[in-house]
Amino acid sequence: MSMNTTRRKGLFMNKKSLLILAFSFNLFAVSASASEVSEMWKRIYQRSIHLDQKLAVMQNLVEQDDPNLVPTLMEALSNLILESKNVRSATDKENWIQLCRLIINALGTYKATEAAPLLYQCFEATDNPVLKSEALTVLGKIRGTDFTERITLLLRNLNLNPGENAVSSEIIAYGCINALEKLKGNAAYKQVFFASQGWYSKRVKDRAFQAIQVMSDDPTDVLAEIIRESEPEIKVQALNAGIASNAPVEKKVALAVQALEQGLYEQTIDVRAQAQYGALRSAAIAALIDLRSNSLASIEPLRLAIERNYDINERLNAVLALGINGTDEATRVLTVFLDQQNQRQASGTHEPDSRFTIALIRALGMTKNPLARPVLQAVEFSNYTPALIRISKEALQQIDQR
């Protein structure tokens, strides 16, 4: 009899023995307790030799939904990791992967924190991206915080370079994002944010965007760092993330002020970058308006936005933001600009577009600040149209009703 014939016969006998054991077990299980059932499947697994047998038994073992099986699952995973280099055939490799996945997900279900080192060892032992991703995901699920830094670094590297196989890198990055969503931390948040803006497919970027919504109630410190360091397009997204977060209003205002300053002070000859800095300024001013900010720190950058007049809409919104601010300092800035308009009008320099002047008058009325009264009264004597004089009188009424 040949060696191959002998081996096939051995395999047949092993499978036949397993089927007999399983059949006998089914008869036993009718009257056995849950713990006895688990123990029986545990023994059958330990007697199993081949990976296909182990996989079939493990499927029954994890179906018992018995947290007491955690040590058994960990021992099985440890042995699989040790044997990983000896797995040769394609069929055995597939069975090994499926068996590891089955055990890993069961450990996640049982929240087996003590299994974290094994999960990371499994991640390192396999080349299969799906298994790697699931090991990372479960590390997050069981709160394997000792591995937060390593997973953060891994995602950072993937964000920077997809490597030779972008599809595999995406799958692994997805697992990193799943893990870091649970593990949290400022460094983790930063890399998940960059993943939401990175080279990945929409599915991965959407998953990262979803994760950052729950990773931190107040990510403004991290986002302020991103606004300082990143390209203008990323700065806009960082500002939007901060405004959408659950951070305190004063932290959101500070982030908006920082973004506005960046948009004003960064100089470039790149036309595309100039447009992105314009978008950053507009988003920052819109945030200050929506937040009803009365921040003193915002007044000087708002004044500069008005003075530099990059864009009429940006300029008008900056005026509105100062009107909402309403402090004495904001009111004084608005009065200076309106006084300049009054002097031009009185001297006969008529501007074809009166939107800026109207915006100043209405903003001064919004302040309800008595400091605005003299310059508003001067409108009537500066050679404006009756319609514009009427608007100034309405603004004065707002101040009188204070």
**The pLDDT value given to residue 400:** 86
Q: Which amino acid is at 290?
A: D
Q: Which of 191, 249, 259, 267 is nearest to 222 (CA)?
A: 191
368 burial level (CB within 10 Å; 0-12, 13-18, 19+)? middle
Phi-psi region of 111 (alpha: psi -120 to 50; beta: other; left: phi over 0): left
Distance of CA 357 to the CA centre of its chain: 42
Name the residue among 135, 145, 147 with its Cα closest to residue 107: 135
Res 34: pLDDT: 62
Exposure of 299 in the CB half-sphere (CA atoms within 13 A): 15
User: Strand, helix or coil at 341?
Assistant: helix
Q: What are phi and psi of 276, to 5 degrees?
A: -70, -35
The residue to which tokens 């069981």 are assigned: 142
Assessment of whether the complete model's pTM goes beyond 0.85? yes
Q: Residues 227, 229, 231, CA angle at the centre, nearest 5°?
A: 80
Q: How do the pLDDT tens digits run along the chain, 402 residues long?
A: 443 443 343 443 354 455 445 544 454 444 455 677 788 888 999 899 999 999 999 999 999 888 999 999 999 999 999 999 999 999 999 999 999 999 999 999 999 999 999 999 999 999 999 999 999 999 999 999 999 999 999 999 999 999 999 999 999 999 999 999 999 999 999 999 999 999 999 999 999 999 999 999 999 999 999 999 999 999 999 999 999 999 999 999 999 999 999 999 987 889 999 999 999 999 999 999 999 999 999 999 999 999 999 999 999 999 999 999 999 999 999 999 999 999 999 998 888 889 999 999 999 999 999 999 999 999 999 999 999 999 999 999 999 887
Residue 8 has what pLDDT? 42
Query: Do 254 and 282 contact (CB within 8 A), yes or no?
Result: no
pLDDT recorded at residue 5 = 42
Distance, C-alpha 370 to centroid of its chain? 45
Which run of H or E residues covers position 356?
A: helix 355-367
* pLDDT score at 32: 52
Could you tell me if 302 and 267 are in contact, meaning their C-beta atoms sit under 8 angstroms apart? no
DSSP 143: T
Residue 360's nearest CA partner among 374, 348, 376, 349 is: 376
For the chain, which residues make up each domain, given as ranges? Answer: 36-119, 144-216, 219-315, 326-402
Measured CA to CA, the distance from residue 330 to residue 397 in angstroms comes to: 19
| Model pLDDT, residue 12 | 39
The pair of three-digit structure tokens given for residue 370, joined into one six-digit string: 């008595």
Name every residue whose Cβ is closer than 8 Å to that of residue 388 and which is 6 or more positions away in sequence.
354, 357, 358, 361, 379
User: What is the structure's pLDDT at 350?
Assistant: 80
